[in-house]
Structure 1
Amino acid sequence: MSFGKRALRFHCSECDTAIEEEGFDLPGFDYMSESHADGIGTEDVDFQCPECDKEYTVQITNSFDNFEAQIYAEPKIRVQLSVVELPDFDDEFDYQDYLKSYVPTEPKDRFSHSLELIADMLTSAKAVTSYPVFHRMLFLQYMAMMEAYLCDRLVLLVQGIEPVRIKLIQNYNSLKNQQYPLVALASDPNLITKKTVSFLKAQLYHELDAVDNLYQAALGASPFVDEKNKKFLKEATINRHHCVHREGKDNDGVVLTEVNEAYVQEVCSQITALVENIETVYKAEIESIQPVIPF
């Protein structure tokens, strides 16, 4: 067990000044002791009142990682002790669990992280990777990752760059024609940004023609690698519909045998190419809203 930030606080019995301290040592607990009582650890920490200079000795007790603090010379003084427990990554399994639960905030990082998790999952999936239902599940996951990325990337660019936001409003009819009372604009200087972002979040990002129009209106270039890339992914959205709404059957009730391992791999490749193209084509805009690392 490891511990991070720790803080101790009490009031001076002479002048009632609050005495606060951080960063002091904590006692350990002897897990190998024959009895619980024998394992209890203690640590004496000396403090001085910053106002009247009265000195105190606080004894901190560790009873199986439960900490208590007391001033035995003046037991009526109430000592507040707070200790933050840190995750223990000595166990490789716990550390891997932590990595799997971690979700990056940046759209490209989140997409790449999801790819890594899927790759890790595939190494453990074994026989189920041959099941048609597994292919459909994986296919839908890739499509969901694409839709989330397309939405999040555009929202961040429109939200963070005023010229991009203005171009989108000027060039996209559904936004250009919206009207708001002057009192609403005067009451909230961020109203236009909020309404624009809200509009973008409400769109369906598997409707790829609409997505293409949104990106071109805001950024002046298509997000797709080329027409072949767009055509393939548009056809994939049809299969997405059949998998979501008809459990992998088309409108005639015929099972989509084409959604197999090779097809799913190609879907992943085409979506990854789309994401990489967006990161390249709009590189300047993306870098302008990313925080500068100070080292």
Structure 2
Amino acid sequence: MGIVKALMMEMEEAQWEASDVTFFCPECKSEVDGTVELPIVYDNGDSTHLPVNVRCFSGGHSFDGWVKTDWDSCEIELDDYPEKTIITDPMRGFASDYDDYDHEYYEWLEQQELLSRPVYRAFNQTISDVKALTAQVLLDDQSQMLARMLLAQSITALEAFLADTLILTVANHPKAQEKLLGSKSLGIGSKKFELADAIGVEDFAKTRLLEYLRAVSFHDVQKANSLFRVGLGINILPEGKELELIQKAIKMRHDCVHRNGVDRETGELHQIDQGLLLRLATTLENLVRTVDQKVDEIETPM
């Protein structure tokens, strides 16, 4: 490894913290206050020799230099003024000081990684918008029109997430394809084709499998669960009241889309309040987060 690359890696791995410093500024020709970011040193660590930048508050001057620091001392030598040495206190730390910070940082970093995935990000954006608009929902006729739209969109967001997640994952995992095509309970692989159907079709079985998955109605969560369970070994459905709420919302969504919000069993218009929409949004967020994490844990390739 080259010296420059090794130095860059050492700088990236070091933990830094801003420190006030008083020094003789070669440009101002006087003692001034300033600031510099120093590498944190630990009681059980070795000395550190890294490049730094010292800034003068009085004249706004900036000086590149090198800091040599350990637990007991800290000296900075300026590149253009090697005869001027700045003596300051070392930036001391203890091994446990940054545990909580690091934990929070990596949790945040993991969340950013999740949100960077288009399928997951699209769902979260939709549900975030639904929750924001829910504040406008009352029980008057005009508000109920909005409520029906928000409920239907929530279930549509779930359907799109499940479909895109399964199809994209299966498309990139040959073993998942084998499991789905070989499942007797699903019967996907038992469909018969003429040999002529395969002419000019690259990876014929995979192509037909993906066509099948694209035709599935993923708001049929029981069927969706079977596909996830067989192909990826994942159970996507919650239990108890959460599952009951999702199933209730799916039924209401059908009435909202196909019967203008009228309950097909009672003949009455569904009344959808803020509480129902918010509970549904939270339940769907929990389901999607769990599924996304489980899919992310699948080995690549399977």
Q: TM-score range by the shorter chain?
A: 0.5 to 0.7
Give the whole-Å Cα distance in 2 for the aligned partners of 1:242 and 1:127. 19
Three-state SS of the structure 1 residue aligned to 2:217 is: coil
Task: Tell me the TM-score normalized by structure 2.
Answer: 0.54
Alignment check: 8 A CA contact 1:150 1:205 kept = yes
**Is 1:144 the counterpart of 2:156 in the alignment?**
yes
In structure 2, the CA distance between the partners of 1:182 and 1:220, relative to structure 1 (3 Å rule), is same
1:138 shift after superposition: 0.8
What percent of counterpart residues are identical? 19
1:230 shift after superposition: 2.6
Which amino acid is 1:245 matched to?
A: H
Unaligned runs of 5+ in 2: 1-115
Question: What RMSD in Å do the two structures reach over aligned CA positions?
Answer: 2.7
1:239 shift after superposition: 0.9
Give the whole-Å Cα distance in 1 for the aligned partners of 2:239 and 2:137. 35
Q: Which residue of 2 aligns with 1:64?
A: none
Which amino acid is 1:166 matched to?
A: E
Alignment check: 8 A CA contact 1:135 1:260 kept = yes
Q: Which residue of 1 aligns with 2:213?
A: 200
**Is 1:110 the counterpart of 2:116 in the alignment?**
no
In structure 2, the CA distance between the partners of 1:122 and 1:270, relative to structure 1 (3 Å rule), is closer
Task: Report the more deviating stretch, 126-135 or 137-146.
Answer: 126-135
1:115 shift after superposition: 2.9
1:106 shift after superposition: 2.3
**Is 1:284 the counterpart of 2:287 in the alignment?**
no
Match of 1:255 among 260, 269, 273: 269
1:278 shift after superposition: 0.2
In structure 2, the CA distance between the partners of 1:255 and 1:203, relative to structure 1 (3 Å rule), is same
Give the whole-Å Cα distance in 1 for the aligned partners of 2:292 and 2:117. 16
**Is 1:178 the counterpart of 2:184 in the alignment?**
no
Give the whole-Å Cα distance in 2 for the aligned partners of 1:211 and 1:263. 24
Alignment check: 8 A CA contact 1:224 1:277 kept = no
In structure 2, the CA distance between the partners of 1:174 and 1:128, relative to structure 1 (3 Å rule), is same
Match of 2:229 among 196, 216, 221: 216
**Is 1:268 the counterpart of 2:281 in the alignment?**
yes
Three-state SS of the structure 2 residue aligned to 1:282 is: helix
Deviating beyond 6 angstroms after TM superposition, the runs of 4 or more aligned structure 1 residues are 126-130
* Residue correspondence of structure 1 range 56-205 to structure 2 within 5 A: 106-119=118-131, 131-171=143-183, 172-185=185-198, 187-205=200-218
